[in-house]
Amino acid sequence: MSVKGRVGVGFVARGLGLALVLFWSGAGLAQTHAQPDQTVQGVPEIGAEGITESMAEISTRAQAADLLPRELMVRPEFPNTRRPVDDPAAPAISRWPEASPAEPGAGDASPTRAPQSIGLSFTGATLADTGSFPPDTMGAVGPTQFIVAVNGRLRSFNKTTGAADGALNSSMDAFFASVMTPVSPPVVLTFTSDPRVRYDRLSGRWIIIIIDVPCTNATCSSTAPNRVLVAVSNGPTITNASNFTFFQFQISGSNFADYPTLGIDDQALYIGA
């Protein structure tokens, strides 16, 4: 089961690190306290202090993980999450209100305009790299790099040449290992899924989020409440000297947060699931 809602995420200094500040606005809360057109007051909560790891630590863990045998991970589809049901009474038209015959462009059968040409093309990852399906492909461009984020692999490329620059090349599970749900009863295995990556020009940082899938049986037909995982870089270009700070939180203690989205402004991160 999925839980629908929104959470605003901010960061505050606490001690020597960063802590997560959460502002909850869930669907259930909105139904209880406000009508559909009214504002819902968020509920702030201070999360755990972030875990900062150097690229050397991350790379060592990633290289060790790549040497281990692995099975193909097929992301389970949970009901009522991805495919909304079409309204059978909806008219079979491309727009509403429907264009009148006299309106410019109505019934225009002109050919499709020529698309933009491809300037640069390269392989971001393969099934052999990821061991995961479907890929749920994401990517973002920064000052000097393009970072590919797919299920099972996170990799950086030179944005001018399209060549992998070697700065970041890790399985998602190894990258987020420090904040994933522990494998402890009732959880028998866990893996990551549904990545999002953004480069925030205001802060000059890379921000990557993903969920984990804590399975309570070997086939992963049932799951425990899961975590949203967040990674924030310390600078605009990922190098061997960079580091990431990792955070995690649960949106619900009883439901599964699925298919997260990510928005960023100068105040917070906004994650919907």
Paired tokens of 25: 């606005």
- Higher per-residue pLDDT: 175 or 63: 175
Task: Please determine, for residue 19, whether its predicted confidence score (pLDDT) is greater than 60.
Answer: no
HSE, CB side, 13 Å, CA atoms: give it for residue 201.
5
List pLDDT tens digits, range 142-200.
999 999 999 999 999 999 999 999 999 999 999 999 999 999 999 999 999 999 999 99
- In angstroms, the Cα distances linking 158 to 62, 202, 205, 268 are 20, 21, 17, 28
* Over residues 103-115, mean pLDDT: 65
pLDDT(8) > 60: no
Highest mean pLDDT among 79-93, 118-132, 239-253: 239-253
Strands of 187-251, DSSP E: 189-200, 205-215, 228-233, 243-249
Name the range with the highest mean pLDDT among 26-30, 56-60, 75-79: 56-60
> Given pLDDT bands bounded at 50, 70 and 90, which one contains residue 16?
very low
Residue 112's alpha-carbon distances to 100, 109, 115, 117, 118, in angstroms, are 22, 9, 8, 14, 17
Tokens of 153: 């692999």
| Degrees to nearest 5, angle at CA 38 with 33 and 42 | 60
- Cα separation, 113 vs 101, in Å, equals 23
- With a cut of 90, say whether residue 25 has pLDDT above it: no
What's the CA gap between 157 and 118, in Å, rounded? Answer: 17
For residue 88, is pLDDT > 80? yes
The average confidence (pLDDT) of the chain is: 82
How far, in Å, CA of 39 to CA of 35, rounded? Answer: 8
Is the model more confident about 84 or about 256?
A: 256
| Cβ atoms within 10 Å, residue 72 | 10
